[in-house]
Amino acid sequence: MKLCTYYTCGFPDMESSFKIIRAISEFSDYIEIGIPFSDPIADGPTIQLASQKSLENGFRLKKAFPIINELSKEFPTKKYLIMTYYNIIFQRKEDFIKKSKESGVWGIVVPDLPPGEDTEFEEKLQEKDIKTIFFVSPTTPKNRMKYISRRTTGFIYYITVKGVTGERNKLPEDLVKKIQEAKKITKKEVFAGFGISNAEQVKELKGVADGVIIGSAIIKKVIESGSKDPTDDIKRFLGEIKENLV
């Protein structure tokens, strides 16, 4: 099972976020770079706080590309994704795709852009071999899931719980069954995200999902660290997660 991690670019500041993303890259197969947005509808309070702080510090999209470029060169076997909202992309689609390709971005996650809503954008991403990652959930009808699978060129992002991102004490009891059903419908890899925050939850999904996505739990460690360097704590945490993936 693969590990995809998420981190908000620019939190708590640009220099620290680069150091943290570099640390999580050592443990991850895929790394989602979160681009802060003022109205992040899919994000829970932890990621919202990180996004707000980053924006207050003057973060802009253009600051993310040099970070991704440097990391993708340092870790050439890792796959870097951008996770952002459509408002940020809409007015600069051509430039966004160009800079994403130049900086080594593997895939794009846009929570508020349903598959097929902007086919031109999807086609241009495909022309540049930048993958699309779309969402399904336990309530997604089978026919809709088939359609989402056809439009997805990367992996399927399976939302494990109702609501927004954030740590959960336990995963839904029928989650394993639901993911197994989804994997019968799609040939794409299925990664489970939203709410996964510890090694026990990862063990529950081993042999079921193709990958897990962890974000809020990492950011929470940064918040709790205060002025202390959080990278050692993050590495210990991800080391434990990694042990339970195989």
pLDDT in tens, 131-176: 999 999 989 999 999 999 999 999 999 998 754 444 445 677 889 9
Q: Give the model's pLDDT for residue 38.
A: 80
pLDDT at 32: 97
CB 8, CB 44: distance < 8 Å: no
CA dist 220 and 234 (Å) reads 10
Q: What is the pLDDT of residue 140?
A: 94
Ranking 42-51, 100-109, 143-152, 158-167 by mean pLDDT, the lowest is 158-167
Nearest to 157 by CA among 208, 117, 210, 84: 210
User: Domains in the chain and their CATH numbers?
Assistant: 2-243 (3.20.20.70)
**Range in 13-27, 169-183, 192-206, 217-231 the model is least confident about:** 169-183
Comparing C-alpha atoms, which of 237, 231, 233 is closest to residue 19?
A: 231
123 part of the active site: no
Single out the catalytic residue among 32, 122, 167, 204: 32
Residue 75's SS3 state is coil
Distance, in Å, from the CA atom of 19 to the CA atom of 13, rounded to the nearest integer, reads: 10
The token pair that represents 114 in the structure block = 């349903």
Whole-angstrom CA distances from 29 to 21, 76, 95 are: 13, 11, 27
Q: Return the pLDDT at 228.
A: 87
Lowest average pLDDT, out of 6-20, 72-86, 170-184, goes to 170-184
Alpha helix ranges (H) inside the chain: 14-25, 45-56, 64-74, 86-90, 93-103, 119-127, 142-151, 175-185, 199-205, 216-225, 231-243
Helix axis angle, 93-103 to 119-127, nearest 10° = 30
Please say whether the beta carbons of 198 and 217 come within 8 A: yes
β-strands 105-109, 135-136: how paired? Answer: unpaired
Q: What is the pLDDT of residue 166?
A: 40
Residue type, 162: K
What's residue 165's pLDDT?
47
Q: Give dist(CA 145, CA 156) in Å, integer.
A: 10
Per cent of the chain over pLDDT 90 is 82
pTM (two decimals): 0.93
CA dihedral sign, ordered 115, 3, 166, 59: negative
Q: Contact 158/190 with Cβ under 8 angstroms?
A: yes
Binned at pLDDT 50, 70 and 90, residue 41 comes out as low
Q: What is the model's pLDDT at position 142? A: 95
Nearest CA-CA partner of 99 in 75, 117, 125, 133: 125
Catalytic residue among 13, 15, 29, 43: 43
Q: What is the pLDDT of residue 194?
A: 86
| pLDDT given at position 15 | 95
43 is catalytic: yes
